[in-house]
């Protein structure tokens, strides 16, 4: 049996009426993006799974509150995920940084692979060191590739404020990337 | 395009000019091509953009998506029935009227309640004062 209209709006109407099949279809379509945002925000796969599950519960319980004429579904979903992540991050500010440092060593290979792995580790540390809102701005724009106005809506800020957040975030990352990777130095013979 | 504006735009939108505000795209590209320092800056920004792409997680395994969805549905099935939602009172005219009269009663009770206290020597029940009964008739009843 197939769903005749599987647009987000049609599926959300069905979910609001308690249709589990429509709920699963929506999860198949959007959970990946929700998980990616949560992983970058929290720096933890397990934490991201919990947040995604909680976000799905909210979707089921409040599906009728989403207004397709006001926002895209992804904006609404990412807003839920973002706020759940912010709640979770309160009181555990140092955790993402510690987790970012807990990166596995790259497999032995070409120098370029090792250098790239070092850069990615530095990037993870730099991302984790950002304030949560800046991290979200950077993640939504560069990782999720959301247009500026949509990303600004997720964060609940004006577009101007969003560009400003994004600028500061990218600047901070660039700055951090210029400093030598302490782990790379420590592992040198 | 000035060097400062070019730097600011690059530090906000990255090296991909398609992300830049439309009004600045052409000027930005021209400035990069005409200025060696701008080209070096642009290459550094391009390198960071490439790292962002590399840092993207691979697509989530569909089995994991199913597991998270199943877990959410299990929680929904096992959660206790919600109690009465008092916010519903405000969603219908009758409910709103009931809630308003309840609130008015509470306010009146707090506002006038102290005035209905009986004089200590007579022990007059407050309800009797309120209803205007002869206190003596109610002695021993209330």
Q: Do B51 and A170 touch (CB under 8 A)?
A: no
Closest CA to A85 of A128, A48, A126: A48
Residues 6+ apart with CB under 8 A from A122: A176, A177, A179, A181
Write down the ipTM of this complex: 0.81
What CATH number was assigned to the domain covering residues A8-91?
1.10.1740.10
Task: Using an 8 Å CB-CB cutoff, list chain A residues near B49.
Answer: 142
Mean pLDDT over the full length of chain A: 85
Instruction: Return the domain boundaries, chain B.
Output: 3-52, 109-142
**pLDDT for res B80:** 67
Q: Which residue of B has its CA nearest to A163?
A: B12
CATH 1.10.3230.20 fits A119-182, yes or no: no
Using the predicted structure, report yes or no on whether residue A101 has a pLDDT greater than 60.
no
What confidence tier does B138 reach under pLDDT thresholds 50, 70, 90?
very low
Q: Nearest-CA residue of chain B relative to A122?
A: B51
Of residues B13, B64, B68, nearest to A56 (C-beta): B68
Is B51 within 8 Å of A123 when comparing Cβ atoms?
yes
- For helices A73-89 and A8-16, the axis angle rounded to 10 degrees is 60
Average pLDDT (B19-29) is 95
Residue A104 pLDDT level (bands cut at 50, 70, 90): very low
Quick one: pLDDT band at residue B96, thresholds 50, 70, 90?
Answer: confident
CB pair distance less than 8 Å for A167 and B11 = yes
- Choice between B93 and A150, residue whose per-residue pLDDT is larger: A150
For the entire predicted model, the pTM comes to 0.72
The neighbour count for residue A96, using CB atoms within 10 Å, is 24
| B60–A contact, CB cutoff 8 A | yes
Mean pLDDT over B96-100 rounds to 75
Local structure of A93: helix, strand or coil: coil
Nearest-Cα distance to chain B for A70, in Å, is: 22
One fold for A8-91 and A119-182: no
Q: Domain limits of chain A? A: 8-91, 119-182
3-state DSSP percent of chain B in helix, strand and coil, to 5 = 75, 0, 25
Least confident segment among A3-12, A176-185, B1-10, B47-56: A176-185
B43 contact A CB<8A: no
Chain B residues close to A32, C-beta within 8 Å: 59-60, 65
């Amino acid at each position: 049996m197939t769903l005749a209209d599987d647009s987000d709006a049609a599926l959300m109407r069905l979910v609001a009426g308690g249709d589990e099949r429509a709920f699963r279809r929506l999860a198949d379509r959007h959970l990946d993006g929700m998980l990616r945002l949560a992983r970058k925000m929290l720096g933890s796969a397990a934490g991201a799974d919990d947040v995604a599950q909680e976000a799905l519960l909210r979707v089921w319980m409040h599906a009728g509150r989403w207004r397709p004429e006001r926002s895209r579904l992804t904006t609404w979903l990412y807003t839920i995920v973002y706020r759940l992540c912010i709640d979770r991050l309160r009181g555990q500010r140092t955790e993402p940084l510690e987790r970012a440092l807990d990166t596995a060593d790259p497999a032995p290979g070409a120098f370029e692979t090792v250098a790239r792995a070092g850069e990615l580790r530095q990037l993870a540390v730099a991302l984790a060191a950002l304030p949560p809102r800046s991290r979200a701005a950077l993640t939504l724009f560069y990782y999720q590739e959301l247009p500026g106005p949509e990303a600004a809506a997720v964060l609940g800020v004006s577009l101007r404020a969003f560009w400003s957040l994004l600028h500061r975030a990218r600047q901070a990352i660039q700055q951090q990337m210029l400093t030598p990777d302490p782990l790379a130095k420590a592992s040198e013979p | 395009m000035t060097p400062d504006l070019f730097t600011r735009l690059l530090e906000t939108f990255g090296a991909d000019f398609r992300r830049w505000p439309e009004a600045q795209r052409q000027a930005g590209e021209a400035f990069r091509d005409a200025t060696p320092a701008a080209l070096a800056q642009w290459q550094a920004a391009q390198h960071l953009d490439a790292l962002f792409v590399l840092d993207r997680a691979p697509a989530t395994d569909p089995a994991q998506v199913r597991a998270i969805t199943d877990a959410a549905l299990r929680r929904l099935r096992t959660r206790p029935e919600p109690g009465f939602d008092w916010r519903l009172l405000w969603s219908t005219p009758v409910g709103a009227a009931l809630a308003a009269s309840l609130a008015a009663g509470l306010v009146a009770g707090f506002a006038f309640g102290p005035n209905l206290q009986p004089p200590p020597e007579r022990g007059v029940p407050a309800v009797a004062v309120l209803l205007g009964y002869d206190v003596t008739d109610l002695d021993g009843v209330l």
